[in-house]
Amino acid sequence: MEPPRAQFRRVAARTGRPATLRFDGATIHATAGDSVLAALLESGVLVRRLEFGGEPRAGFCLMGACQDCWVWSAEGGRIRACTTPVADGMELFAEPQPQAPGHG
């Protein structure tokens, strides 16, 4: 099977420190300064499935308004991927984890 094609294509290089995060167990290589969403979309993963019907979603407005790019942290918190910078060692999930308390 060929690897998934990335949605985003980087056209300007970053010189920041490398940051490695894990998303649903997969390793994502990013650079400090990347938004979580850009890191995910550059690496070709599916960002999330809608809670209502499960269709795939990958963000929309990229400016913190549409709220369509929320992913979950290992601690059960929700992270808006387009306005959250990556941090080395971040562990993220497309869906809330079983141990997560039910945040509203």
Partner 1 sequence: MAEIVIIGAGPAGIAAAEMLCAKGLKPILIDEGARAGGQGYRRPASDLALDMNRLMGSEAEKYTALHRRFETLLPRLDYRPQTLVWAIDGSTLHLLRDGQAETQPFDRLLIASGAMDRIAPLPGWTLPGVFTLGGAQVALKDQGCLIGNRVAFLGSSPLLTLAAKQYREMGAEIAVIADTTPFSAKIAALPGLLRAPRTLVRGLWYMGAALRAGIPLLHGVMPIAIEGESRVEALVLRDAQGRERRFACDAVALGYGLKPETQLADLAGASFAYDPDFRLFLPAIDSMGRARPGLYLAGDGVRIGGADAAEASGALAAQAILADLGHGQDIAVTRTLARDVGRLRDFQRGLARAFAWPKAQIAALPDSVTLCRCEKITIGEVRAAMAKDLGPVEVNRVKAMTRCGMGRCQGRVCGPALQEIVAAEIGGDGAAAGRLRGQAPVKPIALAAAGSTA
Q: Which residues bind partner 1 (CB under 8 A)?
A: 5, 7-16, 31-35, 38, 41-42, 46-47, 50, 52-53, 55-68, 70, 77-78, 82-83, 85, 103-104
- Taking the alpha carbons at both ends of the chain, their separation in whole angstroms is 39
CA atoms of 94 and 41, how far apart (whole Å): 13
Q: How far is the CB of 15 from partner 1 (least distance, A)?
A: 5
Which CB, 20 or 51, lies closer to partner 1? 51
Bridge partner residues of 20 (DSSP) = 29
Which CB, 22 or 78, lies closer to partner 1? 78
Query: What is the DSSP-derived secondary structure letter of residue 98?
Result: T
Which CB, 13 or 25, lies closer to partner 1? 13
Could you tell me how far CA 6 lies from the centroid of its own chain?
13
